[in-house]
């Protein structure tokens, strides 16, 4: 089972991930992330920091995804493990379709085509949603902002995410990121347990 956690910057993903590690410790899940689960992630971080051209940046994110699948995700799934990834392909489809708008003709189509045939679609995607003003207020306390963390970008990125959720309502679980952090962690942990139970029922049939 592959569960991904998505949302714009400032939704509290990192806090949620820490809480899930504790709450789901009995499940022996593999917690992982994009970018940066492998050394390829270092070039991605450098590309983000240097604000390199958006095509270079996008292709590095895809390269990081390929390395992540090859070295972490596929081996763990092959062992029957639950994999929980902090960001995954929907981050590309949401962020890079915004950063590549006006740069190439059909960014989302191009990005999806780059993943087709080898990437693995998540079984479930938890999408944290927050008013952009609240996300920005949370980010204001953080040092070293990334170039994605601007209102115009985050608004568009969150709209993309919401479109994806509308298009695939069975895969996405939308979570109100303004709720109290223990409530969010409890809700998401229960949702993941449910996914695991349902998955086991399927494989037993
Ligand atoms: P992340 O490591 O989640 O952020 P943080 O450093 O705040 O923990 O991701 C770094 C940034 O990269 C974040 O703004 C989202 C962006 N991103 C993309 O634009 N495309 C992608 O495919 C991924 C995985 C992340």
For the chain, which residues make up each domain, given as ranges?
2-204
Cβ atoms of 28 and 81 within 8 Å: the answer is: yes
pTM of the model: 0.95
Q: Given 1.10.10.10, 3.40.50.2000, 3.40.50.300, 3.40.50.2300, which CATH number is that of 2-204?
A: 3.40.50.300
Cα of 35 vs centre of ligand 1, distance in Å, is 6
Q: What is the mean pLDDT of the chain?
A: 95
d(CA 163, CA 169): 10
Cα of 23 vs centre of ligand 1, distance in Å, is 24
Asked if pLDDT for residue 192 goes beyond 70, the answer is: yes
Mean pLDDT of all residues in 86-104: 98
pLDDT tier at 15, thresholds 50, 70, 90: very high
Residue 75 tokens, joined? 């081996």
Query: Which of 18-32, 85-99, 133-147, 157-171 has the weakest average pLDDT?
Result: 133-147
* Local structure of residue 104 (DSSP, 8 states): B
Query: Which of 53-62, 96-105, 119-128, 144-153 has the weakest average pLDDT?
Result: 144-153
Tell which atom from ligand 1 comes closest to the C-alpha of 99.
Answer: 19
d(CA 153, CA 160): 11
d(CA 154, CA 132): 7
Looking at residue 159, its pLDDT comes to 98
Looking at residue 58, its pLDDT comes to 97
pLDDT tier at 204, thresholds 50, 70, 90: low
Ligand 1, atom 25, residue with closest C-alpha: 91
């Amino acid at each position: 089972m592959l569960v991904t956690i998505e949302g714009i910057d400032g939704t509290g993903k990192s806090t949620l991930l820490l809480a899930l590690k504790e709450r789901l410790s009995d499940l022996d899940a593999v917690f992982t992330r994009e970018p940066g689960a492998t050394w390829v992630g270092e070039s991605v971080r450098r590309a983000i920091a240097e604000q390199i051209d958006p095509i270079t940046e996008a292709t590095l994110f895809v390269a990081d995804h390929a390395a992540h699948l090859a070295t972490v995700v596929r081996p763990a799934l092959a062992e029957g493990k639950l994999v929980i990834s902090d960001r995954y392909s929907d981050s590309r489809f949401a962020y890079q379709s915004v950063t590549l708008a006006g740069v190439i003709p059909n960014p989302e189509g191009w990005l999806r085509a780059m993943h087709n045939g080898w990437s693995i679609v998540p079984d479930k995607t938890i999408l944290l949603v927050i008013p952009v003003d609240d996300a920005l207020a949370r980010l204001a306390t953080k040092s070293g902002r990334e170039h994605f963390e601007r209102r115009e970008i985050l608004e568009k990125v969150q709209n993309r995410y919401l479109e994806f959720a509308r298009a695939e309502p069975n895969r996405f679980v939308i979570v109100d990121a303004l709720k109290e952090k223990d409530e969010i962690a409890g809700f998401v942990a229960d949702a993941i347990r449910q996914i695991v139970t349902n998955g086991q029922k399927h494989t037993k049939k």
